[in-house]
């Protein structure tokens, strides 16, 4: 579908690929469109919903400035997926023991590994970049307990919230592993630190913003380059974290299926990140806040909820969306609202046939808390084409 909603009240237009935008998200988009350094327009994906400062599902091109809150605190959060050399009939009738084995291998929630699991070369490579950040901003370390140990031992861990590991079947009953995670604790403290630093650096000018969470760094300002270095490092960490999880998952699967192999093409894509790109005759900083890149021919992953289908897609390179598409179904209601409306029995009913937790700890991730993924996919048919449909048979939540 083409653009469904157009906001023209700001300094630049806002082009939205859905007709359903809640009032809070609409106001956030209007606030973003007032920023003087936004280039051309703002593109908004059909999974749009209210975020902190910037709207989830927004793609923001900027010239000479960056808004840390638009990137957020789960810097580099994204998806990873790979097809296995297994078919549906290779799976056991019950996947419970496999789920428990994977949960033992990949710590979830706030947990981390009890020892260093990543290769020393991986740790050393990341350590060089992190020390460059800490040399100028040692207070980043002060925000974590045992910071050096934590970032190393959280490599290859899931986290909580909407992060997950899934075993899925495609339209040919081929088995896939799909996972969703980001930059863990270290990405969170880097994000929070620079969001607050941007507010501090703006001083009295902060009062002129439509929302204080839109505090920004201007190119050439004291901390502009420092933030880009830090956000780039956290994005690398997030991608490495997903690779490490995939490696650990592979070790578990090989114990049960010794001859198992992964296909060569592993999809690993960010959906909370910033990158330099060329759009509408300018080299801009593109901030994708809950959106993935969908350049022509590029593969991406759009997950549904834990009770709905997910999609492997190929981008169409649509310039109006800045070569972007949605990062998922998008929340229909807040976590607190989901907990108020539903209970563990509802979770069990809505995830029937899927091996997963069905207790009160995952009520906020109940499928009904998310938008209809089929509708979201229909609304972005101009942006991507479907390569594979995936239906989950097992889901691990943090």
Question: According to the model, what pLDDT value does residue 147 have?
Answer: 81
Q: Cα(191)–Cα(230) distance, rounded to whole angstroms?
A: 9
Question: According to the model, what pLDDT value does residue 214 have?
Answer: 96
Phi, psi torsion values for 388, nearest 5 degrees: -140, 145
Q: Cα(98)–Cα(103) distance, rounded to whole angstroms?
A: 9
The Cα-based distances of 64 to 226, 272, 289 in angstroms read 14, 20, 18
Question: According to the model, what pLDDT value does residue 52 have?
Answer: 83
Binding residues: 74, 162-166, 180, 271-272, 303-306, 310, 327-330, 397
Q: Which residue numbers in the chain have pLDDT < 50?
A: none
Binding residues for GMP: 162-166, 271-272, 303-306, 310, 327-330, 397
CATH for the stretch 5-67+77-332+370-397: 3.90.1860.10
Question: According to the model, what pLDDT value does residue 139 have?
Answer: 93
Question: According to the model, what pLDDT value does residue 53 have?
Answer: 73
Domain extent listing, the chain = 5-67+77-332+370-397
From 113, 270, 327, 388, the catalytic residue: 327
Question: According to the model, what pLDDT value does residue 201 have?
Answer: 96
Question: According to the model, what pLDDT value does residue 137 have?
Answer: 96
User: Among this protein's residues, is 388 annotated catalytic?
Assistant: no
Please calculate the CA angle 320-327-40 and round it to the nearest 5 degrees.
25
Cβ atoms of residues 29 and 21 within 8 Å:
yes
* Residues composing the chain: 398
DSSP 159: -
Question: According to the model, what pLDDT value does residue 383 have?
Answer: 98
């Amino acid at each position: 579908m083409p653009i469904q909603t157009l906001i023209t009240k700001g300094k630049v237009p806002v082009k939205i690929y859905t007709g359903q935008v809640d009032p809070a998200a609409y106001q956030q988009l209007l606030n973003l469109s007032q920023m003087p350094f936004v280039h051309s327009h703002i593109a908004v994906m059909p999974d749009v919903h209210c975020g902190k400062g910037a709207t989830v599902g927004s793609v923001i091109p900027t010239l000479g400035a960056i808004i840390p809150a638009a990137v957020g605190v789960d810097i580099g959060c994204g998806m990873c997926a790979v097809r296995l050399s297994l078919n549906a009939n290779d799976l056991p009738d019950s996947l419970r023991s496999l789920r428990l084995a994977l949960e033992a291998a990949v710590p979830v929630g706030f947990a981390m590994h009890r020892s260093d699991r990543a290769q020393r070369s991986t740790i050393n490579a990341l350590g060089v970049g992190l020390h460059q950040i800490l040399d100028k901003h040692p207070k980043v370390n002060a925000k974590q307990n045992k910071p050096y140990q934590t970032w190393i031992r959280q490599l290859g861990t899931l986290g909580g919230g909407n992060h997950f590991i899934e075993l899925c079947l495609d339209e040919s009953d081929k088995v896939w592993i799909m996972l969703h995670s980001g930059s863990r604790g270290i990405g969170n403290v880097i994000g929070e630190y620079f969001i607050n630093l941007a507010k501090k650096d703006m001083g009295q000018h902060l009062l002129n913003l439509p929302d204080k969470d839109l505090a920004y760094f201007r190119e050439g300002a004291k901390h502009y380059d420092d933030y880009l270095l830090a956000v780039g490092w956290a994005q690398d960490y997030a991608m490495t974290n997903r690779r490490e999880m995939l490696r650990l998952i592979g070790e578990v699967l090989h114990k049960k299926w010794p001859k198992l192999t992964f296909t060569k093409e592993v999809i690993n894509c960010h959906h909370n990140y910033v990158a330099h790109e060329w759009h509408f005759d300018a080299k801009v900083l593109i901030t994708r806040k809950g959106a993935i890149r969908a350049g022509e021919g590029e593969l991406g992953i759009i997950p549904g909820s834990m009770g709905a289908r997910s999609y492997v897609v190929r981008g169409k390179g649509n310039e109006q969306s800045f070569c972007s598409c949605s990062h998922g179904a998008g929340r229909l209601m807040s976590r607190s609202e989901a907990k108020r409306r539903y209970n563990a029995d509802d979770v069990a009913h809505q995830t029937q046939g899927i091996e997963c937790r069905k207790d009160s700890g995952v009520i906020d991730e109940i499928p009904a808390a998310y938008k209809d993924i089929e509708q979201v996919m229909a609304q972005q048919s101009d942006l991507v084409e479907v390569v594979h449909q995936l239906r989950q048979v097992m889901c691990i939540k943090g």
